[in-house]
Every structure is written in structure tokens, then in C-alpha cells.
Amino acid sequence: MAVPILKQAQYLIATIQSALTDEDLLSLQTALVEKVGKFRSRGVIVDVTALDVLDSFASRTLRDIAYIIRLRGAETVIVGVQPEVAFAMVQLGITLEKVPTALDLEEGLAYLDKKLQHARAET
């Protein structure tokens, strides 16, 4: 099942609705990387609230998405990791290092807003 990607001002929001196959994840990656360039987005939010399991491939892909998008000049936030999922991931040794995370969509947007303000203030 393809993941809808919504454009909201200077952000892209991808809300994962159901469990994804590995191909779905890779096409999400391709689509996000393309659209960041196309819409000149400054931030990307991937919402995983609906997922009750995140396996190692999914976590690695999420991490890759965040790294690739940083190279494309935007910031990625993963939002909505469930408490049980979070602990299961950590026990498997998956910690999404250096990838920002936030509680939910609202927090994610707040994080990006703050981050961009900082970036603007510095330039």
C-alpha cells in the first residue's frame, strides 16, 4: 500500500497507514527524496502512529530516509512511535541514532518550526 505524502507549507508529511512491505518502504523513500527537491521542502515528517511493529528493515529505511533527506537540505522527524514499539526497538538494538523523534505530528511540526527559526537566525 502506497503511503500518501501531503505537502503542508514548507513541509512534507507522510503518514503511514498500515504495515508496509519492504518494497513499499523503498518506494516511500524514493518518493520522499524526489518530492523534497520538487517542492523545495525544508522539513519532512514521517508519522508511524499506526504501526504496532517496526522491524529492523523498516527502522533502517527510516534512518536512511532521514540521512538522505539531510543531504538534500531538509530535516526529518519521525513521530508517533508507540511506547511498546519503542521499547521493543531498543531491545533489538535499534535506536534510530541521530534521527530526531517527536511524540506526535503536532510536536514534530513544533520541532521543525523551531529548527528552521534557528537556521534562519544564523544566516
Partner 1 sequence: MPTDTNPGSFQLKSIIEKEPMRSTASATALLRELVEHLRQHRTELREEWARRITEAKVLTAMSDAEIFAEATSVYDNYVAALETGTFEALQTYSRNLSERIIPRGVETHEVIGIVLLLRDVLARSLFTKYQSDFQLLNQILDAYEPAANRIANTVAVGFVQERERIIREQQEAIRELSTPVLQVRERLLILPIIGVIDPQRARQLTEQLLRGIRANRARVVVIDITGVAAMDSHVANHLVQTVEASRLLGATVIVTGLSPEIAQTLVKIGVDLGKMNTVGDLQGGIEEAERLLGYKVVPSEAPGQIPGIREEP
Binding interface with partner 1 (CB under 8 A): 78-79, 81, 83-87, 89-91, 95-96, 101-104, 107-108, 111
> Which one, 2 or 87, has the nearer CB to partner 1?
87
Q: How far is CA 81 from CA 84, 87, 103, 118, in A?
A: 8, 10, 7, 26
**Distance of closest approach, residue 62 Cβ to partner 1, in angstroms:** 11
What is d(CA 83, CA 120) in angstroms, rounded to the nearest whole number?
34
> Which one, 33 or 99, has the nearer CB to partner 1?
99
Asked whether 95 and 89 are in contact (CB, 8 A), the reply is: yes
> Which one, 5 or 81, has the nearer CB to partner 1?
81
